[in-house]
Amino acid sequence: MTDLFDEREMGGFPLMGAQFTGSQSSRRTASSGHMHDAHLSRGKEIKKMKELQASEITESVRKRYGEIAKHGKPGCGCAPSGSCCGPLSSSLSTSSLQVGYSAEEVQSVPMGSDLGLGCGNPHAIASLQPGETVLDLGSGAGFDCFLAARQVGKTGRVIGVDMTPEMIEKAREHAKAGAYSNVEFRLGDIENLPASDSYIDVIISNCVINLSPDKRNVFRDAFRVLKPGGRLAISDVIATAPLPENIRKDLALYSSCGGGALTIDELESMLRESGFHDIRIQPKDGSREFIREWAPGRKLEDYIASAMIEAVKPMS
Ligand SMILES: C[S@@+](CC[C@H](N)C(=O)[O-])C[C@H]1O[C@@H](n2cnc3c(N)ncnc32)[C@H](O)[C@@H]1O
């Protein structure tokens, strides 16, 4: 198990910070000059440790989804740990039906683009209109982008962003196979989006933001790329109770959507700080059943739930 920092604790690293208090540099406090130096170097060291941990999380997430893109998913849902779903071809659509997609939606996309990695259906709240420009954060093999493409039509445009090269490669193959002319996939981080300012009408995402070690930047950058009046329509997991340390600090579980969930209050305040209005966060009934399957025996379903998240960038 790896110790992970918790971005909810604004000071940074609960464990590492405590260790650091007793380090050589923080004991150099004989004069106020030295005290100032000690604070500065402590600050730098904490920042460095935070960056290191964030990059460890990112690498673990990228590795996990790279493997899934190449070999398929070993179980059900966003956080597979067992093999509850059986063979790939029949199982994947089953998990998507379980989280809220219709059979028609699942069957309408290129084969292999639905990897069954979602925790809800953002299209249920996105109300996409013909001609709109849509951005999908963490687009995986392209499932939600292909569904969005149908709704925005030829005059609209869909951009999928994902940081895992193997996912982008798969998604591009599917776009080519399905001859989608209004969809493109960009390799990039959702914390630093490869999109221009005020360019997007709607941002969708399915079970991705919980995986980011820097959620504040995700919302800040989402706000930047949205047009005034643009909206967020996101499905993700939220924490319904304080996550116990054995869940919060398990890197494998974090990479499988178990350990990085924020509470409704935390999410709401990050969205508000980023400038969003009309925030609605609605936990989804019935998510216990599929979340239980993500990590059998870990009782994840007692601490996290799937939720629909909506917010709007004000007109001015
Ligand atoms: C649980 S999967 C969901 C995929 C897709 N939304 C779906 O429902 O099929 C998470 C995806 O988000 C991507 N991802 C995770 N963190 C990311 C980040 N910080 N920036 C960009 N992509 C990220 C992963 O590579 C992976 O493809």
Same domain, 22 and 168: no
CATH number of the structural domain spanning residue 131: 3.40.50.150
- CB of 291 closer than 8 Å to CB of 300: yes
For atom 13 of ligand 1, which residue has the closest CA? 138
The answer, yes or no, to whether residue 111 has pLDDT greater than 50, is yes
pLDDT-based confidence at residue 16 (cuts at 50, 70, 90): very low
Separation of alpha carbons 70 and 234, rounded Å: 26
Which residue did the predictor score with more confidence, 45 or 7? 45
For atom 11 of ligand 1, which residue has the closest CA? 138
Question: Does residue 6 lie within any of the structural domains?
Answer: no
- Please state, for a pLDDT cut of 90, what percent of the chain lies above it: 66
The answer, yes or no, to whether residue 90 has pLDDT greater than 70, is no
Mean pLDDT of 247-276: 93
The answer, yes or no, to whether residue 18 has pLDDT greater than 60, is no
Mean pLDDT rounded to a whole number for the chain: 85
The answer, yes or no, to whether residue 243 has pLDDT greater than 60, is yes
- Output the pLDDT for position 279: 98
Gyration radius of the chain over CA positions: 20
Query: Which range of residues forms the domain containing residue 19?
Result: 14-65
Structurally, the chain folds into a number of domains equal to 2
Separation of alpha carbons 226 and 195, rounded Å: 10
- State pTM to two decimals: 0.86
119 sits in the region (left: phi over 0; alpha: psi -120 to 50; else beta) called alpha
Kindly report, residue by residue over 125-159, the tens digit of the pLDDT: 999 999 999 999 999 999 999 999 999 999 999 99
Residue that finishes a domain, picked among 65, 86, 104: 65
Lowest mean per-residue pLDDT among 55-69, 171-185, 242-256, 296-310: 242-256
pLDDT-based confidence at residue 35 (cuts at 50, 70, 90): low
The token duo for 297 is 């025996």
Mean pLDDT of 92-97: 77
Separation of alpha carbons 13 and 20, rounded Å: 10
The answer, yes or no, to whether residue 105 has pLDDT greater than 70, is yes
Same domain, 150 and 91: yes
- Please state, for a pLDDT cut of 70, what percent of the chain lies above it: 78
- Output the pLDDT for position 84: 35
Atom number of ligand 1 nearest to Cα 191: 19
> CA quadruple 284, 303, 294, 251: dihedral positive or negative?
positive
Q: Cα(283) to centroid of ligand 1, in Å?
A: 21
Convert 22-45 to b/e letters by CB count within 10 Å (16 or more is b): eeebeeeeeeeeeeeebeeebeeb
Ligand 1 pocket residues where CB is under 6 Å: 61, 65, 78, 115, 117-118, 138-140, 143-144, 161-164, 167, 189-191, 206-208, 211-212, 257
Q: Cα(287) to centroid of ligand 1, in Å?
A: 20
The answer, yes or no, to whether residue 200 has pLDDT greater than 60, is yes
Q: Cα(216) to centroid of ligand 1, in Å?
A: 17
Same domain, 171 and 258: yes
The answer, yes or no, to whether residue 1 has pLDDT greater than 60, is no
- Output the pLDDT for position 82: 41
The token duo for 64 is 């996990």
Same domain, 31 and 149: no
Same domain, 40 and 124: no
- Output the pLDDT for position 270: 98
Same domain, 31 and 110: no
Q: Cα(78) to centroid of ligand 1, in Å?
A: 10
